[in-house]
């Protein structure tokens, strides 16, 4: 039995994303979960600043990265998964459901044949029940569709990297209105997570603190079951779906949805360059003229 993992968490205030570094104390090896880049949508410039800072922190901690794990194709920030993979030479893994996400957005964005939508941009496509070894840590893959069809949680000892399923108890659960999302499916995914022990440390993918408040990186499963504002242990599916869908109807499209998805479904890379070396991202446009 290996010792519990040590989890180092870094918050990206612009997107409210938590990047977690899950370290195996026995071997000094670690997994990076959901690394982030900065993106200025007005200029189109991508800045690896947050990923550079993460690498510096990993160096200070004396950790050796074994794998980069994505919990899903994010719609609110650009992933540093591809950037880190190129620098560290370690595999980049995501849920096998990425193929469905790629196909959906290939259709919505009319992407060309240069994008086969077969998951080839990633080194490992993970399925429910699979194991990823990080030193002596066995990280278990738990499929958690609902927010997106490729969503995963990762269980390492008593640490659950929960992705976009539930947030801190006071913040509820993830939205389910993106293409391929489903509130009923997310309900069932979270019910599965609620079977884990109360003392499970739940490491969050996001927290959006109010001005002056500190972002929350981790909750306990007990508190999620007892007091998650959208889905407690005694919430039934119909009630949850009604609350979730009502709330989703009020939410704006994330500012970076289209650029983030195009970049992230390509494994954290821009589309291929044209003959002059220029790269472009697409934006579907709708003219509500009438």
Residue 70 touches Fe ion, criterion: CB under 5 A: no
**Among all residues, whose Cβ is closest to Fe ion?**
164
- The residue (of 133 and 245) whose beta carbon lies closer to Fe ion is 245
Report the nearest approach of Fe ion to the CB of residue 175 (Å): 8
Report the nearest approach of Fe ion to the CB of residue 27 (Å): 30
Report the nearest approach of Fe ion to the CB of residue 148 (Å): 7
Residues in the interface with Fe ion (CB under 5 A) total 2
Contact between 163 and 177 under an 8 Å Cβ cutoff? The reply is no
Stretch that binds Fe ion, among 66-74, 87-95, 180-188, 279-287 (CB under 5 A): 66-74
- The residue (of 137 and 153) whose beta carbon lies closer to Fe ion is 153
- The residue (of 22 and 186) whose beta carbon lies closer to Fe ion is 186
* H, E, C per residue of the chain: CCCCCEEEEEEECCCCEEEEEEECCCCCEEEEECCEEEEECCCCEEECHHHHHHHHHHHHHCCEEEEEECCCCCCCCEECHHHHHHHHCCCEEEECCHHHHHHHHHHHCCCCCCCCCCCCCCCEEECCCCEEEECCEEEEEEECCCCCCCCEEEEECCEEECCCCECCCCCCECCCCCCCCCHHHHHHHHHHHCCCCCCCEEECCECCCCCCCCCCCEEEHHHHHHHCCCCCCCCCHHHHHHHHHHHHCCCCCCCCHHHHHHHHCCCCCCCCCCCCCCCCCCCCCCCCCC
Report the nearest approach of Fe ion to the CB of residue 147 (Å): 6
Report the nearest approach of Fe ion to the CB of residue 60 (Å): 29
Stretch that binds Fe ion, among 13-21, 50-58, 70-78, 100-108 (CB under 5 A): 70-78
Stretch that binds Fe ion, among 127-135, 162-170, 210-218, 219-227 (CB under 5 A): 162-170
Figure out which of the listed residues 70, 164, 207, 224 binds Fe ion, where binding follows CB under 5 A.
164
- The residue (of 20 and 74) whose beta carbon lies closer to Fe ion is 74
- The residue (of 31 and 75) whose beta carbon lies closer to Fe ion is 75
Stretch that binds Fe ion, among 159-167, 226-234, 259-267, 281-289 (CB under 5 A): 159-167
Q: CA 192 to CA 178: how far, in whole Å?
A: 22
**Residue ranges in contact with Fe ion by CB under 5 A:** 74, 164
């Amino acid at each position: 039995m290996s010792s519990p993992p040590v989890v180092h968490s870094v918050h990206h205030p612009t997107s409210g994303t938590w990047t977690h570094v899950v370290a195996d104390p026995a071997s000094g090896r670690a997994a990076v979960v959901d690394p982030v880049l900065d993106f200025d949508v007005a200029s189109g410039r991508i800045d690896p600043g947050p990923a550079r800072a993460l690498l510096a922190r990993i160096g200070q901690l004396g950790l050796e990265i074994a794998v980069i794990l994505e919990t899903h194709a994010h719609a609110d920030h650009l992933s540093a998964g591809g950037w880190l993979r190129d620098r560290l030479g370690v595999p980049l893994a995501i849920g096998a459901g990425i193929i469905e996400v790629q196909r959906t957005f290939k259709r919505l964005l009319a992407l060309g044949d240069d994008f086969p939508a077969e998951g080839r941009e990633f080194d490992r496509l993970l399925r429910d029940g699979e194991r990823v070894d990080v030193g002596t840590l066995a990280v278990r893959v738990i499929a958690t569709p609902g927010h997106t069809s490729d969503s995963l949680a990762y269980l390492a000892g008593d640490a659950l990297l929960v992705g976009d399923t539930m947030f801190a108890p006071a913040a509820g659960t993830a939205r389910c209105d993106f293409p391929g999302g489903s509130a009923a499916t997310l309900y069932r995914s979270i019910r599965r997570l609620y079977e884990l022990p109360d003392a499970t440390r739940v490491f969050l993918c996001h927290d959006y603190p109010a001005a002056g408040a500190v972002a929350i990186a981790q909750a306990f499963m007990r508190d999620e079951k007892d007091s998650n504002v959208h889905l407690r242990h005694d919430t039934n599916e119909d009630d949850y779906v009604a609350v979730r869908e009502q709330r989703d109807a009020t939410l704006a499209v994330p500012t970076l949805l289209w650029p983030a998805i195009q970049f992230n479904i390509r494994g954290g890379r821009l589309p291929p360059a044209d003959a002059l070396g220029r790269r472009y991202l697409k934006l579907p446009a709708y003219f509500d003229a009438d």
